[in-house]
Amino acid sequence: MKIARFSRIGFILAAAGSAVGLGNIWKFPYIAGEYGGGAFVLVYLLTVLLIGFSIMIAEMLIGYLGRRDTVTSFEELAPKSKGLWKFGGFQAMAGLLIMTFYSVVIGWIFNYIITSLSTLPATVEQAEQTFGSMLHTDIGTQLFYHTVAFIWITYVVNKGIKGGIEKMNLVLMPMLMVILGGMFLYAMSLDTFSKALDFMFMPHWEKINANAFVVAVGHAFFTLSLGMGAIMTYSASLEKNSNLVKNAFWVVFLDTLIAIVAGLMLFTFLYQYGSGPAKGPGLVFISLPAAFYEMGILGNIFAVLFFIALAFAGLTSSVSLVEPMVQYFIDRFGWSRLKASISMGLFFYLIGIIALLSNIDGFKDSLTWGDKNFFDWVDFFTAAVMLPLGGLVMAVFVGFVLPEEQVSSVMKSQLTWAYPLWRFSLRYITPVAMVLVILSLVGVLS
């Protein structure tokens, strides 16, 4: 079978497209502020460098050497006596679970593109009302846009790595960068830009604690799309003789750059026209539209462009969340791409409806367990447990299980002097960090 391979730029944009997502544009700015601005950014950058970058290379290596779906790649690379390692490949399931709520959020964003064309909310209270009533009462609108997201994503995945995923990323990623870049330049011309700089970069060391470190590691995984086979599956379609280190560098660099640019831009607008930094989903869906309102017609244009960019970020991440399981069914069960794409699409679409309903008054109570509804449980379980577990499995696999000659034959010449550092990180730093993250996030340590 002839396998379609990414071009070099296609791979970098697709992997960066996977990494740059909702996590960068609303989550990073908010948690950076919450956990001490500059001090957190520094901890986060160190985490990305020491752990994220190493795991990104390890994940690429497994895909690049394995050349198949995640399960088969682990199975074929593990020594014959260690067949159980194939279960490491089941990290791919996390992507579909994440998709259940990710697709609902993309639906909200589509809705905001359309509503920003007409009137923006005049006050934060009004914006809160609009968002709340969509979230808690409006099944029709949410379901409609969730369906649009499902059709879009399934269509692209069905077109395959080259004709679907690469093609979409080649168009949407540059557009996303142009939109964010343009809005960033405008933000730089406002007086409050320096306030945003302070907010993101002034270290408040007193806010840094063990929790901030755990949040930094957890976020590094989520934002870099690590631990769920997305990068691994894409890497299976890399050309022979690809430079994994350079690719990983570009992905990490673009992801970090876009998070910082988006954060500075958002906070400048919020300081200049709005109520200052706010947190969580409220940042993008509540405070920001109210700030755009203050800008008049330019605000409408910015709002539409901003939500388009956010939708692009979400869609390019989504295809990478679905592709690993699609690849799995194609490789292991001989399914056609059409059958695999539609089945995986329906899976996240239908379960996504449960996630959607779990925010709706009247359904909420029966879909809430403990302090979280279905939507939040899936978010929590994937981010807190599945991703770090996937990271742990990959670090141990590449650090200890894969024969050293196999690893060094590819990586030594690419990493040169940093090769021993990379191995050290995979063998000791990353596994310890992953275990700490899992334990503390599930509350054992706290």
Query: Does residue 24 bind ligand PFF (CB under 6 A)?
Result: yes
What's the rounded Cα separation, in Å, for the pair 354 and 104? 10
Residue whose CB is less far from ligand PFF, 69 or 407? 69
Query: Does residue 320 bind ligand PFF (CB under 6 A)?
Result: yes
Cβ of residue 223: shortest distance to ligand PFF, in angstroms?
4
Instruction: Please report, as residue ranges, which positions from 57 to 116 form the binding site for ligand PFF (by CB under 6 A).
Output: 95
Nearest-10 Cα torsion for 435, 252, 257, 323: -90
Token code pair at residue 332: 């292991």
Residue whose CB is less far from ligand PFF, 73 or 192? 73
Residue whose CB is less far from ligand PFF, 146 or 423? 146
DSSP string, 121-152: -SSHHHHHHHHHHHHHH-HHHHHHHHHHHHHH
Instruction: Please report, as residue ranges, which positions from 288 to 317 form the binding site for ligand PFF (by CB under 6 A).
Output: 317
Query: Does residue 17 bind ligand PFF (CB under 6 A)?
Result: no
Nearest to 286 by CA among 37, 140, 32, 108: 108
Cβ of residue 234: shortest distance to ligand PFF, in angstroms?
10
Query: Does residue 18 bind ligand PFF (CB under 6 A)?
Result: yes
Residue whose CB is less far from ligand PFF, 363 or 380? 380
Nearest to 437 by CA among 217, 273, 146, 233: 217
Residue whose CB is less far from ligand PFF, 102 or 293? 102
Residue with tokens 């379960």: 351
Instruction: Please report, as residue ranges, which positions from 204 to 243 form the binding site for ligand PFF (by CB under 6 A).
Output: 222-223, 225, 228, 230
Residue with tokens 């497209």: 17
What's the rounded Cα separation, in Å, for the pair 263 and 294? 19
A 10 A CB-CB count for 261 gives 18
Query: Does residue 327 bind ligand PFF (CB under 6 A)?
Result: no
Residue with tokens 């695999």: 340
What spatial distance separates the first Cα and last Cα of the chain, rounded to whole Å?
51
- Cβ neighbours for 403, distance < 8 A, ≥ 6 positions apart: 79
Query: Does residue 23 bind ligand PFF (CB under 6 A)?
Result: yes
Residue whose CB is less far from ligand PFF, 103 or 320? 320
Query: Does residue 153 bind ligand PFF (CB under 6 A)?
Result: no
Cβ of residue 313: shortest distance to ligand PFF, in angstroms?
7
Query: Does residue 48 bind ligand PFF (CB under 6 A)?
Result: no
Residue whose CB is less far from ligand PFF, 33 or 324? 324
Nearest to 38 by CA among 165, 216, 180, 168: 216
Count, residues near ligand PFF per rule CB under 6 A: 15
Q: Tell me which residues touch ligand PFF (CB under 6 A).
A: 18-19, 21-24, 95, 222-223, 225, 228, 230, 317, 320-321
